[in-house]
Structure formats: C-alpha cells, structure tokens
Amino acid sequence: MQPLDQVAPAFRDMAHQIVWASVATVDRDGRPRSRILHPYWEWDGTDLIGWIATVPTPVKRAHIEAHPEVSVSYWTPSHDTCSAECAVQWHLDDDTCRAVWDKFATAPAPVGYDPLIIPMWSDGPTSDQFAVLRLAPHRLRVMAGTVMTAGEGHPLVWTAS
C-alpha cells in the first residue's frame, strides 16, 4: 500500500484524462445501480475531494440516503484503470452549486466543460435540476494497463486508516 500523497495525484491525473466514470450506488435492498457520470477531483496536497454535478433524481436521492457510499470506476481501452470508494454527500445549497458549476466551467478540457450544454441546467447552478455530490475517498486504486497486459509495475493502492 502506498501513501495518499503518492496515489491521489496519480488517481486525479488518470481520472481527468479518462473523464467519464461508472458510479455505483446501492438501494435500500442492497442492489447496486451504475450510471455514467463526470467527476471533478481536487488534490490540495493533503485531501482528495471529488465533485459531481448531477440531476438530483429520486433514485439517486433514495440510494444515497440509504447508503451514503459510492464506487467510482474509470477505464480506457488500453486497460488503464482507477477507482475510488467514497463517502458521498449531497450539496444542494446555492453557494456550493455555484462553486462547483464554476469548477467545471473553468477547468481545462477534457474535464472542463460548459454546464449550460445540459438542457436541464439552462437555469444555471441554482436550478432545482442541478445538485452537487461531494466525494470523500477512503480507498483509491490506480493501475496502468501495462500492469495487466505486460506485467510491468504494480497498482497503486491507498486505504484510509
């Protein structure tokens, strides 16, 4: 297992190159559901925090209320993979929604984009169709595809103590 300051930047860099992730939640009956979402990750040298701009659907709300955890998984055709197991929290307040909207709007491509391209968000970050999920990882894994395809190197893994 490696320290967070070695794994978090590698995770963020790979995640931001891949951009789209499968994010799984779990319902009240323990059944998982996956969806494709677009997280934005911030590493400040101490903490890694993920942000997801999303529509606060009844299904997502119910799942996160029942089990406030998500699994986030990225993959490329060359088999580069990274994953994060995270505690998750809704942020519906206008200040956080505006701040996260701005993170996506000002980040460089490919992770950055104009949130106004989403038709449901045409009213901006204070729309009732726009909400933010905050991700706090407790486990990270980063693996270059060459680890699997050529036996070169090893995965990077960090788990909170």
Number of domains into which the chain is organized: 1
Asked whether residue 152 carries a pLDDT value surpassing 90, the answer given is no
pLDDT, tens digit, 9 for 90 and up, residues 25-38:
999 999 999 999 99
State the residue range of the domain holding 155.
4-159
Share of residues in the chain with pLDDT > 70 (%): 100
Query: Model confidence over 58-113: pLDDT tens digits?
Result: 999 999 999 999 999 999 999 999 999 999 999 999 999 999 999 999 999 999 99
**CA 157 – CA 15 distance, rounded (Å):** 15
pLDDT of residue 73: 98
Q: How many Cβ atoms from other residues are within 10 Å of residue 102's Cβ?
A: 12
Asked if residues 63 and 56 have their Cβ atoms less than 8 Å apart, the reply is: no
Domain of 34: which CATH number?
Answer: 2.30.110.10
pTM recorded for the entire structure:
0.95
